[in-house]
Chain A
């Protein structure tokens, strides 16, 4: 584990500049419902990508390519904003 910093070494305003901790903290396990993306229905408008609060919509070559379940907390905003119902929410299996 990395050495903990003293208060003098911390950035002003309780911000985190090194986002490694954010990457390590996989929040996907919090999910009770999972968004399922249907590639055939999707005409990439990127609304899901814009709205996702966790940057969990994966883009590949400028196209929507799926959902990053390591970080998606299952809030359902992507399903809610999708104009073509290409994302549906399903119950997370145990």
Chain B
């Protein structure tokens, strides 16, 4: 009887679908950004985000929501992009950014947009496994130990990938600047 009373008097928990959608909405900017950083073209990023949501929704009941969601989203996004690449089986050149920026001043906005475009174009030239480490550590600020754990590699391996990715990014930026890419 006491058990029954306890069950009936419990606070109604938010529907899992609602909380999943709310979490997705909260990190949607991050997800789109991550997908683009991992090389998703502007035209395919929405479809890939939807694929990520499908995975998130499927695993939501078993997910530990007390932990930050972004590393999980990054892992799913990485796998989705890898699978998408395998499907596509060829590289699509960087098409530029469609999403509008909301910078403070028009000049700053332009500069920032061009920098991001240059960075994205340079990232595109870094192979995906190393790019993922670079993006996660350098852009998302995830500690290297967590990066290593996320990709199931040793810390040494993660550092090695990061170093090589740095070199590749630097040479890609150099080449792009030589080719006259926007700065």
Do chains A and B interact in one complex? no
B-side residues, CB < 8 A to A, are none
